[in-house]
Amino acid sequence: MLREVTATRYVEPLRSGGSVPGVVEADDLGTYVVKFTGSAQGRKALVAEVIVGELARTLGLRFPELVLVHFDPAIAEQEPHQEVRDLHAASAGVNLGMDHLPGARDFTPEIARVFTVDPLEAGRIVWLDALTVNVDRTVHSSNLMVWPTLGVARPRLWLIDHGAALVFHHRWDVTDPRRAYDFRHHALGHYGPDVRAADAELAPRVTEELLRRILAEVPDAWLADEPGFATAEEVREAYVTYLQARVEASGDWLPTGFPTREELAAEEALRAAKNQQGRPAWLKQVPDLHGKPAVRQDGTVHLG
């Protein structure tokens, strides 16, 4: 089961996403990024975070530890913004925390151009995203972090933010386990993901037993009041049934035929040209002031 901790200090809000998570310190001396039950995305986003995150970790992908965080809004009463305070007030009780990765950087298109990802690793991540119908790991919003892990020669990819996955749980009545996955703009598509090898390796490991064990980690309160279901256990069973059927139907949704770097670059250039047409003349002359990651002679990426 997920460990439970109590938030003892509120550090700051993160405004990189619509859910406005917060960084907190807890009574186990850990620091966590907390996603709140009162956010606009709702509790289903937290359910998706648990299911996909625990699947990722079980399958050997790098994903920060998840914990259940007991949060008292009183520890954040000095927060100056009323909308954030309202979010906290609506989130008293148990929320979801993700282990904070100090010094991690977003896997941006600039970093992607100089970063090497093994085709099998890319294939495993794409396979997980396809299985869980994750619509939010694109070249423009990768939800991947590059973290210089202690004792490792080069930074590694870490997965984060799966609240937009499992889109089927928003419309249980029209779900189809054979649904195709739109992979064209996947953040790792130009690395030649070996999804067939990933399917052969990972599909046998996603068993009914594993899915039941992961669903047991989702708090009952986050599954309550689901239309069409009488109990939290019925909702858990629906997730298990759907995901198990999807694993067995991988031949129908397995993504292949990824676009090349050149094709993506041409598409991006066309998109940028269209955006540029609508900008004022003076703004077109503003140079790109964003720094680019440096590549050392040994091929590693300097993120500082």
67-126 tens-digit pLDDT? 999 999 999 999 999 999 999 999 999 999 999 999 899 999 899 888 999 999 999 999
| Alpha-carbon distances, residue 51 vs 48, 63, 101, 215 (angstroms) | 5, 12, 20, 7
Please report whether residue 288 resides in a domain.
Answer: no
Final residue belonging to a domain, choices 39, 65, 99: 99
The set of residues, in sequence order, having a beta carbon less than 8 Å from that of 239 and lying 6+ positions away, is 51, 166, 169, 211, 215
- What is the pLDDT, as a whole number, of residue 283? 52
How confident is the model at residue 56, as a pLDDT? Answer: 98
Position 56 in a domain: yes
Helices 119-131 and 232-248 sit at what angle, rounded to 10 degrees? Answer: 130
Asked if residue 22 belongs to a domain, the reply is yes
pLDDT of residue 10: 97
DSSP per position, 176-193: -TT-----TTBTTGGG--
pLDDT at position 101 is 93
Among 78, 99, 120, give the residue marking a domain's end: 99
Sorted by sequence, the CB contacts under 8 Å of residue 74 that are 6+ apart come out as none
Structural domain that includes position 234:
105-253
- Contact at 8 Å (CB) between 175 and 103? no
Residues 93 and 114 in one domain: no
pTM, 2 dp:
0.85
Tell me, yes or no, whether 12 and 129 share the same domain.
no
92 shares a domain with 17: yes
Q: Write down the pLDDT at residue 30.
A: 97
Helices (H) and strands (E) in the chain, counts: 11, 10
pLDDT in the model for residue 181: 86
Residues of the chain where predicted confidence (pLDDT) is lower than 70? 16-18, 149-153, 261, 264, 278-304
- Considering the domain boundaries, does residue 299 fall inside one? no
Identify whether 294 is part of a domain. no
Q: What is the pLDDT of residue 140?
A: 86
Q: How many domains does the chain have?
A: 2
What confidence score (pLDDT) does residue 257 get? 80
Q: CA-to-CA distance for 53 and 159, rounded, in angstroms?
A: 8
What pLDDT score was predicted for residue 276?
75
